[in-house]
Structure 1
Amino acid sequence: MGKEFRNQLMKVQKQFPQIIKEVRGKGLLNAVELNSKALSPISAYDVCLKLKDRGILAKPTHDTIIRLTPPLSMSSEDLQEAPKALHALLEHDLPEMKKQKPETVSGTVPNVCDRCGRNLYG
């Protein structure tokens, strides 16, 4: 099932090669790495929130990686929902998200995580 899941995610990657940099994983533990330049100013966290609205729970890692870990008891039909939701998000939601979220000031690197408040470099 893990290979089937990755194959479905790779089909989405082929349709959006400028946004999805890499699909990787082992078994049902998978990651989708996004291209930060093509995604800017949107982060993996923002994408995960939109996936949640579409019924898919995912975990952002850093600013560009989405971790997908479906339950081991999931059926093959249900397993197809995450790639479908990711495709729909990239096709329909992402352009609108980019319009709504203002660009960050270039040249500044945040020292504090915007989600947990942890000091990133100190």
Structure 2
Amino acid sequence: MGTYHLDLGDAQTEELDDVIHLLVDDAELDVDAFISSDQGSDEPRRGSLVIVRNDERSAAATRWVQAVEDLTTEQDVVIIAGDPASPEARRLHLTKAWAATSFHEDEDEDPEAIALAFADIAVK
């Protein structure tokens, strides 16, 4: 897929360094393969994934991270695979997502990584 972007709404996005560790219904899946081949499901598919922010962080995304880290809230999250301006870009929809934990993926470069748990996942 190449690049991923966190969709913040109102045509605002933040480019992510990576989306990793996709777990759907207790099965670890390759993120790119899932986005390319997901056929949907009538049943909710619970799981989690990790988004890794890069050094160019927008204030809007930082506010979003602070909001999603409030474990009393759940919100829908959209991750765009590819160019956010392209109508062809696939969108990964996480329903009722919350931050399961925040951690550092690489202590040397210190990128911010956020593990998101979700009640359902779909590609549109």
**Common fold, TM-score beyond 0.5?**
no
**Higher share in strand:** 2
Larger Rg: 1
Structure with more relative contact order (C-alpha pairs < 8 Å, separation 6 or more)? 2
TM-score after normalising by structure 1: 0.34
TM-score after normalising by structure 2: 0.34
**Higher share in helix:** 1
